[in-house]
Structure 1
Amino acid sequence: MAVADLGTVQIRYDLHGRPDGPRVALFCGRAMSRRFWHVTLVPRLVDAGYRVLTLDNRGSGDTVAPPGPYTVPQLADDAGALLDRLGWQSVAVCGLSLGGMIAERVAATRPGVRAAVLLASSGTPTTFQRAVLAAHQEESAHGPYGPDVSALVELMTTVPAYALLADEPMAATMLAHLRLRTGDGRGPVDQGAAAAGWAGSDQQRAAWAAITAPALLVAFEHDILFPPHAVRAAAEEIRSARYAEVPGVAHGDALVRAAGAIGDLTTGFLREAFPVPARWQAA
């Protein structure tokens, strides 16, 4: 683990893969640790020849939580400052949920972004999404809910209904994880407010219009926060964007249950949009 002191926040990050490989930055979702990437997407990207950056957003993982509330532009500025510190001008960006919102802002504002992979993060607004994001804003304004209430809300919005109905073991595992995650303090709450302020906003649509790099928007079949039809509609608003869908998973379980499929989509897209030189692939 390395630390970058950016003045207003100290960002914890890791670098993976060959130092001379094309560079890919992975941005985390709300309350997500960068270490989750280490057991899902990082091995696939490293095997494909990429140099990979993982970092914790302010307020989660090993990065401290400065006073909020936060905004997506602020979180994207943190990421951009770290990229500048590392000298990463030419880069591909990828993010999940809130991390995808950060990625689309970075892609819209940094001319060196060569490709963007947006996982369950970019979609036209739905009634259910508006209700969930309003709850995040209320929680940020009035203080965190208790851990059990927060865990219940997360469980109902991120785990497939069929898994809850069948009482699959994964549901109990996810609940235990969420109870731990919601004990992290104000950081995840203020990250939720950042997502709420960005999703469906004029700022987000302006970012979509400003993205010129090739983009892949990925939806998960059972995701009720960013349903496939909403992600597909967003893809139509971004030039040079394509759409893909991962079957059988929802917002909260996709990186576990479908890590292989997500890895295939991501590496396949990057090989086209931001390829590793052939001489490195053979090394």
Structure 2
Amino acid sequence: MPDNQRVVLPTGVGLSATLTGSGDGPFVLLNPGMSMSQTSWELTELIAPLVDAGFRVLSYTARGVTGSDAPPPPYDIPSMADDAAGLLDHFDIDRAILVGYSMGCYITQALLERRPGTALGVVMWAGLGSSEISNFVNEMELGLFERYGELPKEVSAFETMLTTLDRASLQDQATVRGWRDLLVHRPSSWASPDGHHGQLAASQSWVLAGEPTAARLAAIDVPTLVMAYSEDLFFPPATSRAAAALIPDAQFVEIDGFAHGGFMLDPSHTAPGHIVDFCRRVRDGAR
């Protein structure tokens, strides 16, 4: 993996970014989910297969997460989309396939509007059609920030475990103990409480504004792949499928047996396989 670069955008915000691959193949931009670092993208095992297939991949760490700057809140999704657009400009990328994971789907949707003509295709992975549980968790976490100035580590660990593991794993006592110990004692991925609060507020404001609207989804005019995990509490298949139906000719894929964090636990890397196949079809001109 090439070394990360620190890219200072015209706004003065510095982001950690990596451009992987060479040659003249199409670009793929990876828009990260909440708290997602470069290491998280490596866990998906998506980048290497894309590069092997001839693509050039731009991944980055969004504002607020360790490795990038955490300017004071407020953050919002359009500003985070502008961050992504600034990275495209820095690397002289005019067009790319846009891949969003979780909150990265919000960034992708905003980027489509703010940079018309940029997208060759769109992948929305575990991030289209948020649930009432997702909205309630965001509301709860923002309330804890207002009360304590940060999110207690045990609360964050519990939420991550509950939304990452499948039902069978959550009922296995040894698995739960192991994940609890791992999550409670691991270093925080946040650059500061400001970064954590900023991303949470950006996500919540997007959802409270009624996004994505039916009109926004209907306006997507490039090949689109929507993927949902069967046990995802935040973006369940039913709401993802309904939202995908509003996008002209979108392909919908449900991945069985995993929850929201399925990219970390799927030994066959099902989602990356679908994404690489989709990118090949876009490159070859198929809708």
Tell whether the structures are fold-level matches, with TM greater than 0.5: yes
Measured after TM superposition, the shift of residue 141 of structure 1 is 4.0
| Cα contact 1:24–1:51 (8 A) shared by 2 | yes
Q: Is 1:98 equivalent to 2:123 in the alignment?
A: no
| Cα contact 2:128–2:235 (8 A) shared by 1 | yes
Tell me which of 195, 199, 208 is aligned to 2:203.
195
C-alpha RMSD over aligned residues: 2.2
| Residues 36 and 246 of structure 1: CA distance in aligned 2, closer, same or farther (over 3 Å) | same
1:25-36 residue pairs with structure 2 within 5 A? 25-36=29-40
Q: Which residue of structure 2 aligns with residue 155 of structure 1?
A: 161
Q: Aligned letter for 1:63?
A: S
TM-score by length of 2: 0.87
What SS does structure 2 have at the residue aligned with 1:202?
A: coil
Tell me which of 71, 74, 80 is aligned to 1:75.
80
Measured after TM superposition, the shift of residue 126 of structure 1 is 3.1
CA distance in 2, matches of 1:263, 1:57: 21
TM-score by length of 1: 0.88
1:6-155 residue pairs with structure 2 within 5 A? 6=9, 7-39=11-43, 40-110=45-115, 111-123=117-129, 125-142=130-147, 143-155=149-161
What SS does structure 2 have at the residue aligned with 1:3?
A: strand
| Cα contact 1:26–1:53 (8 A) shared by 2 | yes
Q: Is 1:238 equivalent to 2:247 in the alignment?
A: yes
Structure 1 regions of 5+ residues with no counterpart? 277-283
Structure 2 regions of 5+ residues with no counterpart? none
Moved over 6 A (4+): none
Q: Is 1:210 equivalent to 2:219 in the alignment?
A: yes
| Residues 238 and 137 of structure 1: CA distance in aligned 2, closer, same or farther (over 3 Å) | farther
CA distance in 1, matches of 2:219, 2:184: 35
| Cα contact 1:83–1:89 (8 A) shared by 2 | yes
CA distance in 1, matches of 2:179, 2:224: 33
Q: Aligned letter for 1:167?
A: Q
| Cα contact 2:145–2:151 (8 A) shared by 1 | no
| Cα contact 2:241–2:252 (8 A) shared by 1 | yes
Aligned length: 275
| Cα contact 2:37–2:189 (8 A) shared by 1 | no
32-41 or 79-88: bigger deviation: 32-41
| Cα contact 1:27–1:94 (8 A) shared by 2 | yes
| Cα contact 1:9–1:58 (8 A) shared by 2 | yes
| Cα contact 2:65–2:189 (8 A) shared by 1 | no
